[in-house]
Structure 1
Amino acid sequence: MRLHPVSARTGLVWVREGIKTFWRQPLAMSGLFFLFMAVVSVVSVLPLVGTAVALALLPAATLGLMAASREASEGKFPMPTVLASAFRAGKERLNAMLQLGAFYAAGFLLVMGVSALFDGGQFAQMYLGGGNVTAETVQSSEFQTAMWVGMSLYLPLALLFWHAPALVHWHGVSPVKSLFFSFMACWQNKGAMLVYLLAWMGVFVLCGVLVSLAASMLGGGAMQVALFPAALLMAAMFFSSFYFTFRDSFTE
């Protein structure tokens, strides 16, 4: 397994492949994403440890969505059991994925902890628990500083874990090495990754504009009804594209 450099325009290919794969199996891909969100949401409300456990499950859950995209791209219908792919790959791979999940939870909570130093934890509370935060609080300099610090620290964490679950599951790479290879692959293909993320931002903005225009034609209340499901569908398409960023960044 070796790193595979790609051109910057490959980022557009990843976006296109994600959207195309989603629409090959729209019911399956959207249903799996909703199930993924439901499981994480239910786990996160457990007393004391809910947030940490939910965070620890994210690498395995993301791997499940990548496996679903892989099956859909091959013309198969991904079943709900595909979300549990990480837990059906044998004891050794399962232990490695659980370690990866523990690393992610620790890293994410550390990022939130650092951001809390700037605003007393208001940004972290809003991000993790959806706490009641007023518009005045959001506009405060302390909250803004905490938000930008949190986002800046989360970026390298995201790059470390971007390919790591797939490397652990499909290539048997150890958790620590998978983090290293994931970061190096993202850095080597930083042009493609930047185009990929910017293109998705453009897709989300375009979708938001179209939903707003449609809602304005139907009446103000339609906006609230349409915006949330549209955002979930767009997020499902986004997750459907993860597999292709991995597929093209490594070669046997």
Structure 2
Amino acid sequence: MNLHIVPARTGLHWAMQGVRTFWRQPLAMSGLFFLFMASVSIVSMVPFVGGALALVILPALTLGMMAATQTAVQGKFPMPSVLFVALKAGPQRKTMFHLGGWYALLFLGLMVVSMLADGGTFAKVYFGGSPMTPEVVNTESFQAALWISMVLYIPVSMMFWHAPALVYWHGLPAGKSLFFSLVACWRNLKAFSVYVLVWIGIFTGSGIVALLVASALGDAELMMPILMPMGLMVTAMFLTSILFTVQSCFTPPAHPDANSHTPPSMD
């Protein structure tokens, strides 16, 4: 496994590859994204520990979206079962749960830190324990907790960006996968900065389109019914693009593993 340093413009290429691949199998990728969200929602309903369990399975489900993208790149229709491929019996399943455990621990840790700013209001809103109202959102303490969480989540996101793929396709232990993912994101920070800016532009553009359509129809209340499906579709495109960041940053394994899904190629 070798780490590659890519130019900044590669970030745009990653995003565009995600969009193009999504439109190769739009029904499948949209359906898998909805299944992704439904799985997290159902698990989160487990009494007492549901929120933590939902965090634990997120890396595995993210790997499932990468595997689905790889299937779409190969011109095949990704079946729903591909989303759970990392949770099936195999040498990587235990490590994937270890990875999920670290994600839950770090995420809950940053939420605890955010409580120092607002006494836990932001955390309650995030986990659905308190309603999100304009009065709550506009308070200085809530805004401070929000920004603290966002800043602290950046290194967590960098650690887990490539980690599921490094565990599943490269067979790395959880700790090493987190380290190499962090290094890859840092060494390719320019490309990832462009990548993030492109997706911010795409999400913003979808909001502007929804506003223009609602205005053209003469009913401002139509904006949200238009924006929601557009936002979900763009989010599915974003998840589809993650695989291409892994392909560019790491050389694929020299030998395919025993999993039913082949490791990502550099093509």
- TM-score, shorter chain, exceeding 0.5: yes
The SS at the match of 1:173 is coil
Indicate yes or no: 2:38 matched with 1:32: no
Q: Which amino acid aligns with 1:21?
A: T
Aligned counterpart, 1:220: 220
TM, length-normalised to structure 2: 0.92
Alignment of 1:109-128 (within 5 A): 109-128=108-127
The answer (yes or no) to whether the contact 1:60–1:101 under 8 Å persists in 2 is yes
In structure 2, what is the Cα distance between the partners aligned to 1:8 and 1:30?
Answer: 29
Aligned counterpart, 2:44: 44
What is the aligned-residue identity percentage? 54
- The number of residue pairs the alignment matches comes to 251
Q: CA deviation at 1:95?
A: 0.2
Q: CA deviation at 1:18?
A: 0.2
Q: CA deviation at 1:190?
A: 0.3
Aligned counterpart, 2:65: 65
The answer (yes or no) to whether the contact 2:57–2:100 under 8 Å persists in 1 is yes
Q: CA deviation at 1:130?
A: 6.0
Whichever structure has more helix as a proportion of its residues is 1
Indicate yes or no: 2:153 matched with 1:154: yes
Give unmatched runs, 5+ long, in structure 2: 253-267
Alignment of 1:142-221 (within 5 A): 142-218=141-217, 219-221=219-221
Q: Deviations over 1:147-191 (max 9, x none)?
A: 111111111000000000000000000100000000000001000
Indicate yes or no: 2:75 matched with 1:75: yes
Q: CA deviation at 1:87?
A: 1.9
Indicate yes or no: 2:239 matched with 1:247: no
Higher relative contact order (CA 8 A, sep 6+): 1
Q: Deviations over 1:38-71 (max 9, x none)?
A: 1101111221000000000000000000111111
Give unmatched runs, 5+ long, in structure 1: none
In structure 2, what is the Cα distance between the partners aligned to 1:210 and 1:226?
Answer: 9
TM, length-normalised to structure 1: 0.97
The answer (yes or no) to whether the contact 1:93–1:172 under 8 Å persists in 2 is yes
In structure 2, what is the Cα distance between the partners aligned to 1:105 and 1:246?
Answer: 22
The answer (yes or no) to whether the contact 1:122–1:133 under 8 Å persists in 2 is no
The SS at the match of 1:248 is helix
In structure 2, what is the Cα distance between the partners aligned to 1:128 and 1:69?
Answer: 29
Instruction: Output the aligned Cα RMSD.
Output: 1.1
The SS at the match of 2:76 is coil
Alignment of 1:92-111 (within 5 A): 92-111=91-110
In structure 1, what is the Cα distance between the partners aligned to 2:221 and 2:143?
Answer: 31
Aligned counterpart, 1:85: 85
The answer (yes or no) to whether the contact 1:116–1:146 under 8 Å persists in 2 is yes
The SS at the match of 1:2 is coil
Q: CA deviation at 1:78?
A: 0.5
Q: Which amino acid aligns with 1:119?
A: D
Q: Which amino acid aligns with 1:237?
A: M
In structure 1, what is the Cα distance between the partners aligned to 2:129 and 2:199?
Answer: 24
Q: CA deviation at 1:140?
A: 1.5
In structure 1, what is the Cα distance between the partners aligned to 2:116 and 2:97?
Answer: 29
Q: CA deviation at 1:25?
A: 0.2
Q: Which amino acid aligns with 1:43?
A: V
Stretches of 4+ aligned residues off by more than 3 angstroms: none
The answer (yes or no) to whether the contact 2:206–2:227 under 8 Å persists in 1 is no
